A and B are shown apart, each in its own frame.
Chain A
């Protein structure tokens, strides 16, 4: 057990280090100078611009040699300082992220968990009868083949424009200020529903298909045949099959996180939903070093953390790992 987690943690640390380094490195090589862009937007006189330029360069720590910037970066990271945003100057990146994170969690967590759970249940159900299976199979495959942004566009157009049931931009109406009231909560939910549905449906298709395949595999396993030969009711055989089929679906969830993150990103863009993804895009377009970094850090940390949690869950659920079975 210790070896198992030890190895996993080592990989996560290496990955974190590597990813963060890449994350820090690449924006540095992006074309264009963020301070210059910022100044260009502010349209100041050339003399003032020069002073401001040196000021801001120092303020953003861009005047020290690269290796020092790198060390400063790690140092700041451990102090929870993610720098100041250029695009949304003078707000600190940490603050900007903090304001966007709740929207992401609000959108992603239910979408991931619900689509996983519902998809698995449904896939297991579909594997029961041939007829059901044959009609639902193509639907599932097409759902999972649907690009996230296209489904978002479709839903936005169909339910937002044509039927005019849901709004298609923002997390809440522009006319409102966040406050605790049923009106506001209802408004938030209305804005949340379409992006959530979009993420949910694509994920649902994928999990349903995966589970259906796993269940069929388990139903054809030797232990299933043995139970049948001993006259066990179908109920018991299916129960065992489901319990065994869920295991690879748990690891599958960990593997899919990257894809889901990408999907959430484009969905946020379609619906102008103010999450990390939307923020990231704006940061790129405005060449905001620190904000890009901050978004990345959040994404990477989140994904690694989720992976770790899923690993723990898997160990709890699969007795073979606990009993010291080694190997993949």
Chain B
């Protein structure tokens, strides 16, 4: 599969005006790529992922397009997008713990959902069983109510359901945030296994937990305040980032074995800007230690090395 996002811009309508949550996002993904999408809370990660599957009010599509396997996705049209949902693009949402109807047996909900999408549940049942086995869930969960499952079990069930139709693109939104560390590892491994078995072609893993991304992601995309900051192979991003924000982000991560009397845990001073009336140009300008006048213009996402993109005026070269 191939995914190309071109200058995707999505705002949120509010009473006070438009919140510019996503500004000119452009990137591409290859077949089989697990891309991590990281950044602070409110940087636009969930907006981006929602735009790809459910662009509903108060979100407003301003411009930009998304091409999946060469075909343009009608993301601005809620009804037209239905064809692609579940089959081509699917999501394991942030709220997976509450994603299932609490008053319906899971198996019944699954078959009702499938039937409503024109799929015969009986034909899918054997495959469903295999998938449950894969994530180490007993087939009995289909006869249970969501309340009877633990958090991790619900997460895995939602993973199975969301990927049942072998979507090309899977959006995994904060799937490990609410879990304990050992379950986190298990879920992360499951994700990789799904990709390896070609149950899903590519995955966008949204999280603010860089350690998970280091384990499973092929590439990482860093966002800040609605803009893309940097994208590149995991090794590059973690060890040799170029964008000042990424650098600060990586260095602010605690390191194993380092005690606090040896090194202080530094954060990044300041706060991200409000996106109701964001500053012009690079939105990281205010907190960037390397800011200059050139940063008043929005720096384009430039490929400085194969597969490594940075949006920083420093990298703009001599034509700044």
Contact = CB atoms under 8 A, between A and B. Distances in A.
> In the complex, A touching B, CB below 8 Å?
yes
Contacts of A232: 113, 116-117
B14 interface: no
Given A223-B98, A229-B53, A231-B86, A320 B103 contact: yes
A232 B91 CA distance: 13
Interface in B109-149: 112-113, 116-117, 145, 147-148
Instruction: Find the residue from B83, B93, B161 having the highest chain A CB count within 10 A.
Output: B93
Interface in A294-328: 318-320, 323, 325
Given A221-B98, A230-B85, A231-B82, A236 B116 contact: yes
B148 A323 contact: yes
Interface in B215-273: none
A273 to B, nearest CB: 40
Nearest to B83: A231
Contacts of B158: 226
Interface string B61-98: 00000000000000000000111111100110101001
Interface string A222-248: 110111111111011000100110010
A247 B103 contact: yes
A229 B93 contact: yes
Contacts, number: 72
Interface residues on A, range: 20 to 34
B297 interface: no
A230 B113 contact: yes
A245 to B, nearest CB: 11
A229 B171 CA distance: 11
Contacts of B98: 221-223
A226 B98 CA distance: 9
Contacts of A222: 93, 95, 98-99
B235 to A, nearest CB: 33
B79 to A, nearest CB: 10
> Of residues B91, B100, B103, B148, which shows the largest number of chain A Cβ atoms within 10 Å of its Cβ?
B103
Interface residues of B, number: 32
Given A229-B53, A229-B85, A320 B147 contact: yes
Residue among B82, B84, B116 with the highest chain A CB neighbour number at 10 A = B116
B116 A325 contact: no
B281 interface: no
A157 to B, nearest CB: 45
Given A231-B86, A235-B116, A323 B145 contact: yes
A225 B116 contact: no
Interface in B26-75: 53-54, 56
Given A244-B102, A244-B103, A319-B103, A229 B145 contact: no
B54 A236 contact: no
A240 B147 contact: no
Contacts of A243: 103
Contacts of A223: 98-102
A113 to B, nearest CB: 23
B104 A240 contact: yes
B162 interface: yes
A44 to B, nearest CB: 68
A226 B116 contact: no
Nearest to B81: A231
B145 A319 contact: yes
Nearest to B82: A231
A225 B104 CA distance: 16
Nearest to A244: B103
6 contacts: A223-B98, A226-B99, A229-B93, A230-B117, A230-B162, A320-B102
Interface of B: 53-54, 56, 81-87, 90-91, 93, 95, 98-105, 112-113, 116-117, 145, 147-148, 158, 161-162
Interface of A: 221-223, 225-233, 235-236, 240, 243-244, 247, 318-320, 323, 325
CB-based closest 4 A-B pairs: A231-B85, A226-B99, A222-B98, A222-B95
